[in-house]
Amino acid sequence: MAEGNRQQAESIDEMLPPTAKRRVHERIALKIREFAGVPVDQPLNPWKLAPYVKIRVMNLKEVEGLSEETRKVLLGDSGKGWSGGATRPLPDGSRLVFLNPNHSWERQAATLMEEICHVMLGHSPTRLMLHEETDEALHFRNFDENQEEVAYAVGAAALVPYFTLKHAVRAGLSADKIAGRLAVSRELVEYRIKVCRLWSEYKQRGKMSS
């Protein structure tokens, strides 16, 4: 029995990063993947997951009532600027999530996954609300930095699971190749490599394969 427990513990360790905080994030992310029915080595499509947590995705360009100045601030130039946000729950319990269409599909995916995590983690809406009584349709509040950090970290872990990332790094794959396989950005892959303490190994493997 003890041997079986030890093997089970080792199997679980294979799935989790080395630090305590990242292990917590990874466990939640794996539960999200389980809920979505997506294996750890396959891309997770946030758009397919969104309806199951009562999220309706909207393009920011579809929002009426915004001034031209506000649109310029939100949409930014050359893919920069605001990424997205969610409304308070609507009467039917759903939320609207607005994404910046000027950003790449991969960056929008990370933003949407973050908003999905806010909902699944039970975070209070802090970034974007609808206000019919104001001149503009959107109103912003200060956001909770801790909630933002956790939602982003869990979302990133759901999109780039540690188990798959670790084996890809040990196989000498570049961040670009890993990103292509998981349908995410190179920047998100590199973020995950660093927070999962795989960066030194990644750089070493890169030298060996070059």
Closest-CA residue to 126 (of 135, 134, 114, 136): 114
pLDDT at 30 over 90: yes
DSSP code of 139? E
Q: pLDDT tens across 119-144, in order?
A: 999 887 654 444 444 444 444 444 57
User: Within the chain, what is the greatest distance between any pair of CA atoms?
Assistant: 67
The CA distance from 107 to 127, in Å, is: 18
DSSP-based three-state secondary structure for 143: coil
Q: Which range, of 1-15, 32-46, 150-164, averages the lowest pLDDT?
A: 1-15
pLDDT value at residue 83: 79
Q: pLDDT tens across 44-79, in order?
A: 999 999 999 999 998 777 777 767 776 666 666 555
The CA distance from 105 to 184, in Å, is: 8
The CA distance from 205 to 119, in Å, is: 38
pLDDT value at residue 1: 40
